Amino acid sequence: MTLSVCCQRLLLLAYCLSATLPAQKPRSSEAALANFTKVEDKPEADRRRAVRDLGPYAEPAVTELLLRELQTAKELGYRQDLVKAIGGSVRPLAVATLAPLLRRETNLYLQDLIAISIAKQGEEGIAVLTTELIAQRNNRSQRISLLNALGQSELRTARNAVLHELRTAAGRDRLPALRALKDVVGDVDIDELRVQLARDNDIEMACAALLQLDQHKHPMAGACALDLHKRGKPLDAQAHAAVLQGFLIKPIAEYLPLILLHGARADDPFGKKVEPAWAAALANDAVARFLVSDAAVPKDPLARAFLAECLGRLGGDPARTALGKLLHEPGPVRDAAAAGLVRIGDLQAQALLTELQKTGNDEARAIALAALYELRFADPAFGEVLLLAAFSPMPQLQAVALRLLAERRPTLALALPPALTAIENKNLSVRAAAVQLLAALRHKDAIPVLINRLDKEQGRLRSDLLAALQDLTQLSLLEQQQWLTWWQQNGKNFAVPPPKDLPKPSAKATGGTVATYWNLQVSSERVVFVLDISGSMLEQFGTGGKTRLEAAKTQLERVVPLLPQKGRCNLIWFGSEAQAFSARLIDQKQHAALQTAARDLVSRGATNVFAALELAFTDPEVDTIYLLTDGYPSVGTIVDGNQLADEVRRWNRLRGIRIHTIALGGKSDFLERLAKDSGGDSIVAR
């Protein structure tokens, strides 16, 4: 082979590889401009990447192009990218172009971006924002954008402008200025104001100031937290978190009972922000002695459940003994105590759970069995415990045992009999768990049993039966008579093939409705739609000019009228907190009212996925959840995505709810895991 032929082949290989690799960012302004020239005649959606690549370059030609495009841009997403790119460098004339846009912009997210881009233009931008701050005295949304942008600047003039606003504003108008200063550390003037505001009569103002003192571990944080507690006024979850964190900085004896009270109601009480404080507190002998004493047990059930969580993290013999006492209390206290014993995980903890699993009521035994499963998953002897429970006359215990067997997949000969028996149970939850186990076992004896149940069920359970049959046979038959005929002809010699991914049966095929929600079928007759209304839902969805929330409302508007006639549904929306349209599932008579409530929703707050899912799980009738969100959790009892997914999986071992997830804007590993763990589907909508 000649050298020239080798070179030709290398060049061809390089070309093929370059065609398959993702496009690289341009390394010069000339290259970035050339890339834009290639797409400048295409729709705005196709120009967005090229615009983003122009951001780091401050050359006059780049600036001129970006400012010109901004003047004519129509689509919200394109305008957002242009504003971000302009803010990527200091540019002459940028402030003069952006300032008029800031005054007339109505989209709050874009308003924030414009203000931030102006602030990035240096002293000229800060001067304009400061002037606007005075001019927009009565425009709250504009003032929030202005102050947020000033707070992100490192310039002293920006700090002075925000500090002046904080000192001269009145009432709640001080909040945006205070929040704009949240990251400023070691500034004596600002710290003095924080301490003063932490004792303000306005609770929201006081909590915002206290959170900043907590964040910077100010020595007055504990005293300010105690002051807030003694007022006896209602606090929200964020305020409880502020008080908790203040007490944890230096947990003296006076604070210890209050840590339990506020921790039980706080946002993310064991989150990453407070991990170091908890580690130090639990290593403190005085704190440890208090937690295991009888004096620590509060009257409030939520606080007792929180005590159980603390004991699980503390560990040791005294903590285990204290958890053993809490294990016999009802509801969330017992659940938290079981989780605490799982965290400790030794043989003595297992013995306490085993005793409850043998002697408690139906709910207690089910909780204990699920907890033991986490500790004894790999223990062959535990399989016998599950099999015995799978024949239990207690429906909740039996359903949990069947679900755990499906997850564990023991020997076919042992697990098949309880599943075949349970599928005829009068309890719907037990039958659903039996179908799940039969599908997991992949045995041919399950097929005729599943076929015979097909026309006896409806809603989600019928859909599950059909999906199980199609998975076990790799066939796409739809009606029971078709299955019966096929089995009569082929059953004798049929062998179950290895599993493979199949398309889900259509809603019409499952005998349900033709209802779809974000292209996911809705066959359940007991469904709850969980809708994110956080502030980021104001961002544009796709290229149609709608916001994400508007697109979500449209999908909801379409699906509700198509739900099964006898079906019941509910709507839960969440930002910083979660709220349900109804305490329980509603029938068709209330669908119109639900749709009206959905149309009136406005985007606000953070992303409290925990509260939304917890609220959905409180209704014992729900068997299917559709969760739509455009982000990861940012507030709530649990914020970490993996920890929240673990917690939901633990809940679901007792419930068997199917969770389908819709990620708006981009892929979410968290949402994919929620769906996979529950047997649901997960999609990305852009």
* pLDDT single digits (tens) 581-601: 999 999 999 999 999 999 999
Which uninterrupted H or E stretch holds 607? none
Q: How many Cβ atoms are within 10 Å of 301's Cβ, its own excluded?
A: 15
Q: What is the pTM of this model?
A: 0.81
> What is the rounded average pLDDT of the residues 380-400?
94
Q: Which residues contact 649 (CB under 8 A, 6 or more apart)?
A: 677, 678
Per residue in 331-389, pLDDT (tens digit) is: 899 999 999 999 999 999 999 999 999 999 999 999 999 999 999 988 889 989 999 99
With tokens 């920890």, the residue in question is: 643
Residue 279 has pLDDT above 60, yes or no: yes
Q: What percent of the chain has pLDDT over 70?
A: 94
- Average per-residue pLDDT for the chain: 91
Task: Specify the pLDDT at position 141.
Answer: 83
144-183 pLDDT, tens digit per residue, is 999 999 999 999 999 999 999 999 998 988 999 999 999 9
The model's confidence at residue 647, banded by pLDDT at 50, 70 and 90, is very high
- Rounded to whole angstroms, the Cα distance separating 440 from 105 reads 55
Beta bridge partners of 580: 572
Q: Would you place residue 411 in the very low, low, confident or very high pLDDT band (cuts 50, 70, 90)?
A: low
- Tokens 């170091």 identify what position? 276
**Is residue 8 pLDDT above 80, yes or no?**
no
Q: What's at 471, amino acid-wise?
A: D
- pLDDT score recorded for residue 541: 87
Rounded Cα–Cα distance for residues 211 and 45 (Å): 41
> HEC states along 299-356?
CCHHHHHHHHHHHHHHCCHHHHHHHHHHCCCCHHHHHHHHHHHHHHCCHHHHHHHHHH
Q: Is pLDDT larger for residue 19 or for residue 195?
A: 195
| Residues whose CB is less than 8 angstroms from the CB of residue 433 and which lie 6 or more positions away in sequence, other chains included | 398, 399, 400, 402, 403, 406, 422, 656
Position 544 confidence tier, pLDDT thresholds 50, 70, 90: confident
Helix, strand, coil shares of the chain as percentages rounded to 5? 65, 5, 30
Which residue spans within 514-567 are E strands per DSSP?
516-517, 520-521, 526-532
In the prediction, which pLDDT does 631 show? Answer: 83
Query: What pLDDT is recorded for position 386?
Result: 94
500: confidence class by pLDDT, cuts 50, 70, 90:
confident
Q: How confident is the model at residue 515 (pLDDT cuts 50, 70, 90)?
A: confident
**Calpha distance 370→386 (Å, rounded):** 10
Res 218: pLDDT: 95
Q: Hey, what domains does the chain have and what are their CATH numbers?
A: 184-283 (no CATH), 516-685 (3.40.50.410)
pLDDT band at 10 (very low <50, low <70, confident <90, very high): very low
Mean pLDDT for the stretch of residues 20-28: 69
Mean pLDDT is lowest, of 22-26, 500-504, 625-629, for 500-504
Mean pLDDT of 105-117: 92
Average pLDDT over residues 293-301: 91
Q: pLDDT tens, 522-531?
A: 989 999 999 9
Average pLDDT over residues 445-472: 95
